[in-house]
Structure 1
Amino acid sequence: MIHDADNVIDLNAILHPGSVYDHPRDVVQDPTISIAEKRAILASWASDAASVASNPALRELPGSNRIVTIDEILDALATLDHHPKGPPGGKPARLKSTSRAGLAA
């Protein structure tokens, strides 16, 4: 979407992603747009404006030939989030020494 030679962003992909992307994973895998742009595209795709009237769990973008589920879009958004490698809060720290705990028993 960004042409390196002239540093021009293809606004059609941002404003009408259905004409460029068939599936939310295509947005995530596009190396030419920033994470913020990916989030904006996926958020617009997830919005109620793109919902299918007969089935609100489905989304279809104008210009797209494909219908996707809201879950597919939310999964694509989740892949853009940074996830820590360890448990939440980091490595647990021992509050009491093991030698004291053995003496108390």
Structure 2
Amino acid sequence: MSDAPSEFQLTVPDSVAADPGAIELIRIWWSKDEPVMSVMPAFDDPARFGELLAIAARHMAYGYAVRHGHDEKTAYHRILHGLSDVIKADNVATVAEPATLKGGNA
């Protein structure tokens, strides 16, 4: 993934790099027209992950406002609409890739 254009590369925030107790919970890619992810269910209570997703939606709405000129509140509601559509459809299947030692480390 290091060959990806710089506009698609993410960096670790300084505050996270400086925190020895920080843990990575999820990585998500858009690949071959679908999401692919690596997850770490680190919270004892799954509701905490729901809280994280809600906060992430707010941050993403801000990103759409800054990067694409969207109205932040409208972008947030569009994100929630997308979440709701997937929840209502109830047709997402988890497909686990085999664990390998070669290739990626995610």
Q: Could you tell me the TM-score, scaled by structure 1's length? A: 0.29
Greater C-alpha Rg: 1
Q: Could you tell me the TM-score, scaled by structure 2's length? A: 0.29
